[in-house]
Structure formats: structure tokens, C-alpha cells
Structure 1
Amino acid sequence: MSDSVQGNSGKGRVTPESADSPPLRKASWKYIGPGIVVAATGVGAGDLVATLIAGSKFGYTLLWAAIIGCLVKISLAEATGRWHLATGKTLFEGWRSLGQWTTYYFAVYVVIWGFVYGATAMSSSALPIAALFPDGPSIKFWAILCGLLGLAFVWFNRYAVFEKFMTVVIGMKFLVVVYVAIRVAPDLGNAVKGLVPTLPDGSLFYTLGLIGGVGGTITMAAYGYWVNSKGWTNSSWMKVMRLDNRVAYITTGIFVVAMLIIGAELLHSSGVALGKGDKGLVDLGGVLEAKFGVVTAKLFLIGFFATSFGALVGVWHGVSLMFADFVERFQRERKTGQPVTGMAEEVAAGKREKSKPFRAYLLWLTFPPMALLWLDQPFGLVVVYGVLGAFFMPFLALTLVWLLNTDRTPGEWRNGWLSNIMLALGGLLFVVLCVKQVIDLF
């Protein structure tokens, strides 16, 4: 999306804000980083399963929905990054300006979500290891080990090392998933037909899920914090951030299309049914082994592990940053009785990554959720996690519309008409998905 679409449409208009704005840096590939992190974090195993099942049920028919979903996520992540850069404030500072209700919403949400997600992420990372080593320890052992490894890595490393690690993760995911998609020999003719919007019988909520569910929940809000951690703290980085964001969701789009191809070619025509939740990816490993041999199946399981563990590490870092920002602001406001600003500079300086709240949330993500691993059916956690994720996305989309259309944002960086349309449609879509998730749960 062009800069004129993402920002205000009145080019050349001089405002007090634009007169003081630093000159824009040239967008360059050498700066890319936070987008890689959000792509590695946002597409977890559950997203791959949802896309795979959509392909197995409807072939290429819903390809258009996957692409629209990436465009919606580009708009959401761009809006998050634009807020951080245009205002020099973190997203939580913005939420706080909308009223105290946002504090209560976020506080309750982040505590419950972290407890459930911790167990979900550890279980998801353990599954492919257990499949690779069927005679080894139990899934619980591997899950706990993955949680402890994620904790240790984020605890002892700062953003720069974290970004390099996530670049390796995204490379593994990309190569493996695309390799398998090529191996199953996609039908390009039917794929092109899938770009035309159609809704087969029974496909409505699969379609909404593809549009709204792939590419991150709370990690979309974490994108602005990763932008600041990279050292981007003012509007001079706007073009760079937009390039970075597009790279993130083009990469995500390739993942989604590749998994849809695998579902359409490998499962749709043969009528193979997969297990529920992340177990479906283990089942797919068995299908791949039967058709293409052990090597392809093992490679896929390695890619599955990279997907799950990358999401785990990304959340351990990004959401802990958000929690630390939330606690630090709350403590300072209680102490001084005054609004607190300029938190983005502190995130950029790395002051959050070694703070007590950051590490406290890391421990919360790791140890209490281990108790949930002893449930008889831990994969039921995926359902609860999906509901919690559905509750956050409407909150994010609608508060961004509020923040980026008022004087909280400098005039030249407020929403243009297309951004407003995409964010409003995204918010409406997420409300519908949230209601559907709650109905399914009960």
C-alpha cells in the first residue's frame, strides 16, 4: 500500500507537526528486522492447521480469502508501527489516553491469555519433536524443555540477538513449507481460479478464519515495540517501517498459500482427514512419508517445530515487552500522579528487556502453564486460546481507528480513507469471529 494511502491523503499540506518532522529515511532492505520477527511469531502451528484444513475441504476456492487476510494484517501492523513512530509513544500510552477501561481490559486479558498461551505454545513445540523421536521421552518432557529453552534464550539475550535468531527461524519455515508445496505439484490453473471471490456451501466461517486468523493476535500489537527495540523511534523511519511491514506479510502470505496448496493437492483430492488441533500437522507428516518418503516427512516436522518454537520465543519476548511497559507506566503514574510519556525511547534503549516486570511475565508464561500440560486433553487449550485471541483483535483494530483519527496523532500521520476502511472492516470481522468462537466454546 502506498504511503499516500496509509497516511493522510493531502500531500504537500504543511501543518505544525509536519514542519517539525524529521526528514524521511529512504526505505532500504538493510534495515529489515521487526517484520521478520512478527512473521516468525504471528504464524503459529494453529494457523497452519487452519489453512491446511481449508485447503483440504475446499481446494483452492478460498485462496482469495487468504490474500485479503494478509492485506488486513498489513493495515493493522502498519497502523501499530505508525502510532509508535508518529507520536514517540508506545501503544499502551495510546490506549491509556482513551480511558482507564483500557488498563483493566489489558491487565485482565494479558494475565489470562499468557497462562493459556504458555501451555499451548509448549505443547505445540513438543509435538513435532515427539514425532521425530517416537521412542524418546513423553510430550510433557519435550514441552517443558521447550518452555525452559525459550525462557533462557529471552532472559539472557537482547533484541539484536533475538532478531537474528528469528531470521533463522523464518528461513527454516519458508524453505520447508515452500519445498513441500512445490513437491506436491500445485495446479496453477485452479490456483488462479481461486483468486476470484466465491463462497462454497459451508465455507463462511472458514473464509472468515482465513481472513482474520492467520498472522498474529496480540503479536500484532507487539510489532510497534519491536520497531522501537530496533531503534526506530520517530517518523523519519516511517518509509522503512512500511517496507518492513510489507515484507512481513508478503512472507506470511507465501506461507498461507503454500499450506493451502498442500491441503488442496495432498488432502482434498484424496479425502484424507487430519486430527484436530496441532496433531493435524503430525498426521500430515505421516501422509507425506507415505507419498514422498521419510526425508520429506522429517523436513516437514522440522519446519513444524521451527514454526511452533519461533512463535513461542516471539511471544516470550514481545508480549513481555508490552507487559513491562504496562507495569512501568502504571507504577510511575501512581507515584507521580501525572501522565507518563516518552516510553518508546526507553524501549529503544533496551531498558525493558532486563526489567523486573519483563522477567516476571517471562516466568508467568513458562512455569504456571506447565500445570495445564497434565490435563488429559491439552490440545483443548487451542480452543480456549483461539477465543482469547478473538477477544483481543477487535480491541486492537477499533482502538487504532480511535487513536489514528484524532489529535492524539500528528495530522500528517493520521489515517487516510483506505486505512480507515481496512481497520474498520478488520474490527467488524474480528467481532464476528469472536462471537463465533464463544458460541463454539459453549
Structure 2
Amino acid sequence: MPKSLSFRSGLGSVLFWSVISAAFIGPGTVTTCSLAGSRFGLGLLWTLAFSTLGTIVLQEAVARITIASGLSLGEVVGRSYGARSRVVAVGLVGAVALGCAAYQAGNILGAVSGLALLSDVPSTYLTALIGVSCIVLLWRGSQKLLANFLGIIVFVMGVAFAYVATQIQLSFGGLARALVLPTLPADSLVLAIGLIGTTIVPYNLFLASGIGRGQSLTEMRWGIGLAVLIGGGISMAILVSGTLLLGEFSFQIMADTLANRVGSWGRILFALGLFAAGFTSALTAPLAAAVTARSLLGWSVTSWSYRLVWLGVLAVGLTFGLLNSRPVPVIIAAQAINGVLLPVVTIFLFRAVNDSRLIPVEYRNTRLQNVAMGLVMVVTLLLGSWNIWQAIQKLLA
């Protein structure tokens, strides 16, 4: 008999899976969503609706694999490719590590930008402080409590954005059309891919692939569904709030806009939230790259190979920070890179969740689930390919 779902277990499952929504609400989300709202109004809101549903589809498939087989996504991928598994695993580790490194640059710069709104300390010192803190916490493996605390600050910042969004006069019909009708205004392609890449975070599929052990399918589905919908709702509120911005986007202008709408505490809350989002993500991205490598290549958490992966990802972020790179362009580029990498990871997941040798028939994708996952794969592949083609044309022009 299927396990029944009580209110208490349902709420516990939502909190349990909230790590997924907390992981994708980083400085990249704040920047990309705000910039999209300020430049294109509600024209790209559909990308957040699409990517929120896409995140639910993909995370549910990953958790179902774990519940059915007792294996992580990396272990399933390794077994399903037989003799070629090592080559596939190395390639997949490289792709995920590249995506994490791209994210890490934006994470460090976002965290530094948040602190810079609160103090006059030179950014070089702030970058070094954040870098050393990340190294110590990742080496000791004691980052969970701090990440949970900072995650609460990020959530409160999200509530502030949601409050601001409700103060904007929007027609229900216009909002509904923006959510369901895909449009690509001129020069919006990179941002569109970035909005998808900052929500359906490829490395989250590996980082959370083992989190569903011990849950029933019902608990898992309710937990993932509601947790991701909350995170997606916060992203949409940030985009809607971004429509208030006048002129070019910057963190300072966004902080001033919140202060004008909710009072002076809005500026402080935005600065703390931006720092918290950056710092928690600066811990998550290197860890996710290392966990993916361990899952696919069988390394131990105490091995130097494992540590070199997260040290390398962290080093990329620190390099951009110490070079005083402009945060907004780096963050937007990072989201777009991950949006391009997303179809690669989705293809591996699609194959794994339909593998009859590893997944019992009752846990494999239904026809409808295959259509939904295929839609995510096709849309991201088309947008990513289009973006690459435009880049090649510019180089050849």
C-alpha cells in the first residue's frame, strides 16, 4: 500500500527539499532577473515559468532514480554506459565543473558586492576574506549550519521582493500572457538563456541526487513541487520588481529602489541578502563540482583529487574577484554558459531514467514525463545553439 502523506510529513518534505530552491537563488538570480525586468519589462517572465516547471520535472526524475535504484545519478550514468562509462564520466565531470566555475565567478563577485554596499573596505580584502572562509569551511566540511542560516536571510530578502512586486499595478491578463506566451525581444537571447540557466541549475541535479533516499514517491513529489514553486515565485517577484528600475541596472540602484518602496531597511536587507546568496552559493558550487566528480569517478571525500576539484572551482571565482571584474557582465555570462550546458546534462538524465537494466518499470518515465523532459531538452538546446551561432557570426563579421 502506498505510504500516506500527513500534513506534518508533507511540510517536512517541503523544508527538506528547500535546499533546491535555496541553491538556485544566488546573486545570479538577483542580477539576471532584475536586469531582465529593467530592460524588457515582463517580456521574459515566461522563461521563469518554463524553467520552474522544468526544474520540477528534472529534479523529480533524479529523485525517482535514487528511490528506485538506491544509486546517485552519477552512479546510474556510470553503470548505464558500460565500457564507455569512464570516458562519459570524465566528459560529464568536465562539463559540470566548467558550469560550476562559471557560477563561482558570479558568486564571489555577488558576495563582495553585497558587503561593499555596507562598508568601504576595499574589494580585494573582501574577496580574500570570502575566499579564505570558503576554503576553511569546505576543508572542514562544516558549512551546513552557516549555509542554512544565510539561506534564511536570502529567503527574507525574497519576501521583500515579493512585497515590492505586489505594490506594482499589473493587469491580470497581461501578467498571465507574460507567463505563458514565449517572446524574445531584440537583444534578449543571452538573458533568456541566463534566466533558464540560473533556475534549472545543472549541478543541482548531481548535488541533490541522493537526497530522496528513504522518502516515498508522494513525499518526494510534494516536497520538490512546492519547494521549487516557492523559489520560482521569488525569482518572478525579483523580475517584476526589476521593472521599477530606471536606466542601467546596478546593485546600488536596486538597493535604492527597495529602500524607496519599503523603507531604509530595504537597502540593508538587499545588501545582506546579496552577500548571503553569494556566500552560500560560493560554498555550494565548488562542493557540487567535487560531489559530481566523486559520484561519477568513485573518489573519496578525503582524496586530493576530490579536494583539487573544489579548490580549482573556488580559484576561478577568486581570480575574477581579485581582478576587480565588473560583477554584472560576469554573472550574466555565467548563467548563459550554464544554460548552454543544461541540454547536455538533460540528455544523460533522459537516458538514465528510461534505462530498463537499472530502473524498474514502475519507476521509469511515463510517456507524458518523457514529453515534458524532451520539451525542456529541446527548448534549451535550441536557445543554446542559437546563442552559439550568433556568437560565431559576430566573430566572423
TM-score class normalised by the smaller sequence: 0.7 to 0.9
Residue 416 in structure 1 maps to residue 366 in structure 2: yes
The structure 2 residue matched to 1:202, chosen from 174, 180, 186, is 186
Residues 22-61 of structure 1 correspond to what in structure 2 (within 5 A)? 24=3, 26=5, 28-61=10-43
CA 207–292 in structure 1, closer or farther in 2 if over 3 Å, else same: same
Q: TM-score, normalised by structure 2?
A: 0.83
Residue 67 in structure 1 maps to residue 49 in structure 2: yes
Residues 92-241 of structure 1 correspond to what in structure 2 (within 5 A)? 92-96=74-78, 97-98=80-81, 99-100=84-85, 101-133=87-119, 136-157=120-141, 161=145, 164-165=148-149, 167-182=151-166, 184-189=167-172, 190-195=174-179, 197=181, 199=183, 201-202=185-186, 205=189, 208-209=192-193, 212-225=196-209, 227=211, 232-233=212-213, 236-241=215-220
SS of equivalent residue, structure 2 residue 224: helix
Q: Report the residue type matching 2:91 in the other structure.
A: Y
Q: Report the residue type matching 2:310 in the other structure.
A: L
SS of equivalent residue, structure 1 residue 249: helix
SS of equivalent residue, structure 2 residue 121: coil
Please report how far the alpha carbon of residue 119 of structure 1 lies from its aligned counterpart in structure 2 after TM superposition: 3.0
Q: Which runs of 5+ in 1 are unaligned?
A: 1-21, 330-351
8 Å Cα contact 2:97/2:289 also seen in 1:
no
Aligned to 1:309: 279
Rounded to whole Å, the distance in 2 between the matches of 1:404 and 1:247 is 22
Aligned to 1:348: none
Rounded to whole Å, the distance in 2 between the matches of 1:71 and 1:285 is 29
Comparing 154-163 with 295-304, greater Cα deviation is found at 154-163
Q: Report the residue type matching 2:140 in the other structure.
A: F
Q: 1:51-70 CA distances to partner (integer Å, 9 max, x unpaired)?
A: 22332234334434422221
The structure 2 residue matched to 1:320, chosen from 290, 294, 308, is 290
SS of equivalent residue, structure 2 residue 298: helix
Aligned to 1:382: 331
Please report how far the alpha carbon of residue 412 of structure 1 lies from its aligned counterpart in structure 2 after TM superposition: 0.2
Aligned to 1:274: 248
CA 440–286 in structure 1, closer or farther in 2 if over 3 Å, else same: farther
Aligned to 1:334: none
Please report how far the alpha carbon of residue 42 of structure 1 lies from its aligned counterpart in structure 2 after TM superposition: 1.3
Aligned to 1:349: none
Q: 1:300-357 CA distances to partner (integer Å, 9 max, x unpaired)?
A: 222222222232222243333222223426xxxxxxxxxxxxxxxxxxxxxx655554
8 Å Cα contact 2:49/2:180 also seen in 1:
no
Sequence identity, in percent? 19
CA 244–203 in structure 1, closer or farther in 2 if over 3 Å, else same: farther
Rounded to whole Å, the distance in 2 between the matches of 1:225 and 1:159 is 19
Please report how far the alpha carbon of residue 71 of structure 1 lies from its aligned counterpart in structure 2 after TM superposition: 0.7
SS of equivalent residue, structure 1 residue 406: coil
Residues 10-29 of structure 1 correspond to what in structure 2 (within 5 A)? 24=3, 26=5, 28-29=10-11
Equivalent pairs, count: 382
8 Å Cα contact 2:14/2:227 also seen in 1:
no
* Shift >6 Å, 4+ stretches: none
Rounded to whole Å, the distance in 1 between the matches of 2:310 and 2:228 is 27
Q: Which runs of 5+ in 2 are unaligned?
A: none
Residue 392 in structure 1 maps to residue 366 in structure 2: no
Q: Report the residue type matching 1:274 in the other structure.
A: E
Residue 90 in structure 1 maps to residue 40 in structure 2: no
8 Å Cα contact 2:57/2:372 also seen in 1:
yes
Rounded to whole Å, the distance in 2 between the matches of 1:242 and 1:78 is 6
Q: Report the residue type matching 1:427 in the other structure.
A: M
Rounded to whole Å, the distance in 1 between the matches of 2:207 and 2:316 is 26
Aligned to 2:310: 362
CA 140–376 in structure 1, closer or farther in 2 if over 3 Å, else same: closer
Please report how far the alpha carbon of residue 123 of structure 1 lies from its aligned counterpart in structure 2 after TM superposition: 1.3
Aligned to 1:434: 384
8 Å Cα contact 2:147/2:280 also seen in 1:
no
